[in-house]
């Protein structure tokens, strides 16, 4: 721009005499000012580029993509922690009323078993009342419908002779409301009722149960998240081997692994399993867990 103006001044000096040079120079400066003013006015009237189309701007992530790639994780259960699962304390009458509502016929003691059943005959044992049921755990919540005040009971059916070296019998999950049986269905294997939580936001709570087995010095636990909404039991998610303890085994590098289960609420909910590991603790000490470097499950 400066070179153009200098060239214009040289042309004017060459075209006119010295007497009129100053007048023409002032007219030239005035014309330039007018051009600048017109350019600025045109720039102001041009529509601004939308923020989303700016070369340097980044589009905001939509709520859907934010949920997909960075879900809000909430704790479902931490299997690093020790669990205390005392059996429900009921009077003899209350226990009889509860079990009678779930099982038309049952025995009070295993010594009363009349027939020895094999695993394939478990249904026959239940149908004939050759069972010794045991209340394992209970929890309050809204299990079959929103807003209900209900009590869930986890029951070990105890088919006669199913309790050998390891129990191979069945389990029941029973829901009571105002001391009346609302729903009962066969439950996956489980000795612990770990959590009651609404994972999908429908105001009906799900139940997390877990069970453990042992053999050759190894303790292994798995878990299942159950829904009994509407009175029908279904499994939302199975979690295999949420806890593994090989401290009494003959493995060359025994240790303990445990899972922290997180979830992101939604329909369907998302689940995240974070494994931890610990060396076998000294007697009387608790394991010191750290994020697992290699999954031992």
Q: Are strands 180-187 and 171-177 parallel, antiparallel or unpaired?
A: antiparallel
What pLDDT, on a 0 to 100 scale, did the predictor assign at position 119? 55
Q: Domain end: 132, 158, 190, which one?
A: 190
Residue 81 lies in a domain: yes
Global pTM? 0.72
Pair 235, 295 in one domain: yes
Pair 169, 24 in one domain: no
Q: Which of 163-172, 189-198, 261-270, 279-288 has the lowest mean pLDDT?
A: 163-172
The predicted-structure confidence for 197-248, as pLDDT tens digits, reads as follows: 999 999 999 999 999 988 888 999 999 999 999 999 999 999 999 999 999 8
Q: Domain end: 134, 156, 190, which one?
A: 190
The predicted-structure confidence for 140-186, as pLDDT tens digits, reads as follows: 999 999 999 999 999 999 998 787 667 889 999 999 999 999 999 99
Range 121-148 average pLDDT: 93
**Structural domain boundaries enclosing 209:** 65-85+195-297
Pair 271, 175 in one domain: no
For the chain, the distance separating the N- and C-terminal CA atoms, rounded to the nearest angstrom, is 75
Spatial contact of 208 and 190, defined as CB atoms under 8 Å apart: no
Pair 45, 172 in one domain: no
Spatial contact of 285 and 278, defined as CB atoms under 8 Å apart: no
Residue 57 lies in a domain: no
> What is the spatial distance between Cα 24 and Cα 5, in angstroms, rounded to a whole number?
13
What pLDDT, on a 0 to 100 scale, did the predictor assign at position 46? 44
> What is the spatial distance between Cα 150 and Cα 143, in angstroms, rounded to a whole number?
7
Residue 95 lies in a domain: yes
What pLDDT, on a 0 to 100 scale, did the predictor assign at position 216? 85
The predicted-structure confidence for 210-220, as pLDDT tens digits, reads as follows: 999 888 889 99
Report residue 117's pLDDT band, with 50, 70 and 90 as the boundaries: low
What pLDDT, on a 0 to 100 scale, did the predictor assign at position 33? 56
Helices (H) and strands (E) in the chain, counts: 5, 12
Spatial contact of 138 and 207, defined as CB atoms under 8 Å apart: no
Range 9-37 average pLDDT: 50
Pair 294, 212 in one domain: yes
Residue 58 lies in a domain: no
What pLDDT, on a 0 to 100 scale, did the predictor assign at position 11? 44
Report residue 41's pLDDT band, with 50, 70 and 90 as the boundaries: low
Report residue 55's pLDDT band, with 50, 70 and 90 as the boundaries: very low
Q: Domain end: 173, 190, 207, which one?
A: 190
For the cut 60, the answer to whether the pLDDT of residue 8 exceeds it is no
């Amino acid at each position: 721009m400066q070179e153009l103006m200098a060239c214009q001044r040289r042309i004017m000096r060459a075209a006119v005499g010295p007497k009129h040079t100053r007048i023409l120079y002032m007219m030239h400066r005035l014309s330039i000012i007018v051009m600048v003013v017109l350019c600025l006015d045109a720039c102001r009237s041009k529509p601004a580029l939308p923020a989303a189309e700016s070369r340097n701007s980044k589009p905001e992530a939509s709520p859907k993509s934010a949920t997909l790639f960075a879900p809000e994780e909430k704790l479902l259960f931490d299997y690093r922690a020790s669990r205390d699962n005392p059996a429900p304390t009921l009077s003899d009458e209350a226990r009889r009323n509860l079990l009678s509502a779930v099982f038309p016929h049952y025995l009070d003691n295993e010594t009363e078993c009349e027939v020895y059943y094999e695993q394939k005959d478990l249904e026959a044992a239940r149908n004939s009342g050759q069972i010794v049921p045991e209340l394992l755990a209970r929890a309050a919540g809204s299990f079959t419908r929103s807003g209900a005040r209900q009590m869930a009971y986890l029951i070990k059916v105890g088919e006669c002779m199913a309790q050998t070296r390891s129990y191979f019998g069945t389990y029941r999950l029973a829901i009571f409301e105002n001391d009346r049986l609302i729903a009962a269905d066969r439950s996956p294997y489980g000795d612990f009722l770990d959590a009651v939580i609404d994972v999908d936001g429908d105001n009906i709570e799900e139940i997390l149960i877990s069970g453990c087995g042992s053999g050759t010095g190894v303790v292994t636990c798995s878990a299942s998240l159950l829904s009994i909404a509407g009175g029908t039991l279904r499994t939302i998610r199975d979690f295999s081997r949420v806890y593994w303890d090989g401290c009494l085994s003959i493995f060359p590098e025994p240790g303990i692994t445990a899972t922290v289960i997180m979830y992101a609420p939604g329909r369907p909910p998302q689940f995240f399993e974070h494994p931890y590991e610990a060396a076998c603790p000294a007697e009387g000490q608790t394991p010191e867990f750290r994020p697992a470097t290699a999954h031992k499950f």
